[in-house]
Structures are given as C-alpha cells and as structure tokens.
Amino acid sequence: MFMTERREPRFFRFSSTAVRWSLMASGVLLLVLTLWVARYIYLESEVRNLAGVKQMQEQFEALKQDLSDEIEKFQALQEKVRKLENQLKGKSYAPSREDAETQNFPVLKGAPFSPDGMEDVLQAYKLFTSRRGELESQYNALNEEVAQRLSLLEYVPSIPPTSTLSISSGFGYRRNPMNGRIDFHPGLDIRGDPLDLVRATASGTVTFAGWKGGYGRTVVIDHGNGFVTWFAHNYSLLVQAGERVKKGQAIARIGSSGYTTGPHLHYEVHYGEKIIDPRIVLNVNVFTVKSILSRVRR
Ligand SMILES: [Zn+2]
C-alpha cells in the first residue's frame, strides 16, 4: 500500500520532467514546422507572383503586337486615303512628312517590359488613336466629296450616246457634206446601223420629242444644271416630252430623218447659251468632273 503510494508520486515526478522535455521538443518541432509551412506558403506565392509577372509580360508583348498590326493596317488605309485625296485634287501622290512620322512609331518595336517601356507603348497608342481619328474624319470627308461628285456626274453628259462611238464628223468648222460649203458643225455625227439604240448621256427631263425641221425626229433633254443635249435624225423616238430619263436609258433609234445623207446620230451638247464640243465632257469621271466643269463654265 505504501509502496504503491510512494511509487505513484515518483512516477508523476519522472513523468513531469519527461512531459516538460517532450513539450519543449514538440514546441521546437512545431516552430520548425510552422517555419517550413510559412516558407512553403511564401515560396508558393512567389512562384505564383512570377507566373503572374510572366503572364503580364506575355500580355504586354501581345499588346505591342496587336498595336503594330493595327498600325500596319492604318498605314495601308492612310496611303489609300492620301492617293484618293490627291486624285480628287488632280495631283499625283507623294508621301508627306507627316506620313513618314507616322510610319515610324519608333518606340513601339523596342519597348522593353518595364514601366518606361509601358509608358512608351501607351504614348504610341495615344499617338496612333489620334492619327486614326484624323484619318477617319479625312476618309469621311473624302467619301462625302466622292458622293457629291457622283451626284454631279449623274447630270453631266459623260457617256457615249451609242454603243460604239464612231465619229464621222466632228465639232467645229468643216466642209458641209450636203453642199460642199465651209460651215460650223455644232455637234458630233456618230455612225450607227439603222435602229441601233440611242441612250441619254445623263439623267434629266425630256423637253422635246418630235420633228424639228432639218434635225428630223429629235429628242432634247434638259439636265437641270445648264446642260441640255440634242439627239437628231432618229428613225423613231422611245420617250415623250415631260418624261424623266436616267443616264444610259434608251431614248431613240438611229435613222436618217431630216436633212441628212444617211443614217447617223447628230449629237449636240449645250451649256447655257453656248454649244460645246461634246468630247469636252465625254468620259469625264469623278476625278476630273470638277476641273472640267469649271472649264465649261468659263
Ligand atoms: Zn451633224
């Protein structure tokens, strides 16, 4: 009974030392473990950070590539716009100094992955977007100009009145085939087979369709802008006075009515009080229409 009573406290004393040691040991172990875990977490987050940085760098390079591609497209468009702009002005195209500056975007290619490099790319991007904005408004202005010229052209007698334009007698002074005398020929005589179609050379309103003395069966079209066209010696007429006609629309068939030696179309172009050589406005296009019209108006 005593022995057991004695033993128990001894066992307790011994065990208390062991417990302290083991507690200390496990404390150290815990500390080491904690440090390991902390280090592991830290390293893992470092690895994740590095992956993040790598991803950012890849995004940065992709952004530079996208911007370079956009700039390339922009430059191709810029060249087209400049060419069109110059063609509309009747000038030939030469790259301007401003364009040459835009060609460079020098910072872009070499920009390193760094705050400075990012700043450079940002600057290049801002420059690019402002240039693109300018180009867009130039492009829109050109589009408007072309649209305006096309609507102008619609009422300028610019297409041949027959499918083939074979001229037997030109505009101006000539020996009259009917009487051999020198006289003024106010139009073009265009060869054609009888019944070939005659077409309106511009849109407008038919002001006369009928017999007109030596002109025979004649169509007169008023184009509403100073231009009036005459088509004479027809075999038959396909339109009536007051009718609206479109450019290219068939208006008559070639014949030899009136004062003529044989089947042909006599074609006149009037501008205001003047009668002009139809060839002045023949084949005029969107690029030349403005300068040719100012020539006609003089
Ligand atoms: Zn004639």
Determine the distance separating the centroid of ligand 1 and the alpha carbon of 185, expressed in angstroms.
6
**275 has a pLDDT exceeding 80:** yes
Q: pLDDT tens for residues 219-269? A: 999 999 999 999 999 999 999 999 999 999 999 999 999 999 899 999 999
What integer pLDDT is reported at residue 230 of this predicted model?
98
Determine the distance separating the centroid of ligand 1 and the alpha carbon of 245, expressed in angstroms.
23
Q: pLDDT tens for residues 75-97? A: 888 888 888 888 888 887 776 66
Determine the distance separating the centroid of ligand 1 and the alpha carbon of 252, expressed in angstroms.
16
Non-local CB neighbours of 167 within 8 Å, separated by 6+ positions: 188, 189, 190, 191
Cα three-residue angle 172-221-179, rounded to 5 degrees? 35
Q: pLDDT tens for residues 51-66? A: 888 888 888 888 888 8
**162 has a pLDDT exceeding 60:** yes
pLDDT confidence bin for 277, thresholds 50/70/90: very high
pTM of the model as a whole: 0.72
Determine the distance separating the centroid of ligand 1 and the alpha carbon of 187, expressed in angstroms.
6
Determine the distance separating the centroid of ligand 1 and the alpha carbon of 210, expressed in angstroms.
17
Distance CA 128, CA 207 (A): 55
Determine the distance separating the centroid of ligand 1 and the alpha carbon of 248, expressed in angstroms.
21
pLDDT confidence bin for 7, thresholds 50/70/90: low
What integer pLDDT is reported at residue 23 of this predicted model?
82
> What number is the average pLDDT over the span 164-190?
90
What integer pLDDT is reported at residue 16 of this predicted model?
76
Mean pLDDT of the chain: 87
What integer pLDDT is reported at residue 200 of this predicted model?
98
Determine the distance separating the centroid of ligand 1 and the alpha carbon of 251, expressed in angstroms.
18
Q: Rounded to whole angstroms, what are the CA distances from 30 to 18, 139, 194, 250, 253?
A: 17, 73, 114, 103, 111
pLDDT confidence bin for 293, thresholds 50/70/90: very high
Determine the distance separating the centroid of ligand 1 and the alpha carbon of 242, expressed in angstroms.
25
Determine the distance separating the centroid of ligand 1 and the alpha carbon of 291, expressed in angstroms.
28
What integer pLDDT is reported at residue 14 of this predicted model?
59
Determine the distance separating the centroid of ligand 1 and the alpha carbon of 271, expressed in angstroms.
18
**160 has a pLDDT exceeding 90:** yes
Determine the distance separating the centroid of ligand 1 and the alpha carbon of 224, expressed in angstroms.
24
Distance CA 228, CA 233 (A): 17
Q: In the 8-state DSSP scheme, what is residue 195? A: T
DSSP H/E element including 17: helix 2-89
Determine the distance separating the centroid of ligand 1 and the alpha carbon of 264, expressed in angstroms.
8
> Which amino acid makes up residue 235?
Y
Determine the distance separating the centroid of ligand 1 and the alpha carbon of 215, expressed in angstroms.
9
- Choose among 69, 88, 71: nearest CA to 139: 88
Q: Rounded to whole angstroms, what are the CA distances from 263 to 142, 179, 191, 255?
A: 45, 18, 7, 5
Determine the distance separating the centroid of ligand 1 and the alpha carbon of 213, expressed in angstroms.
13
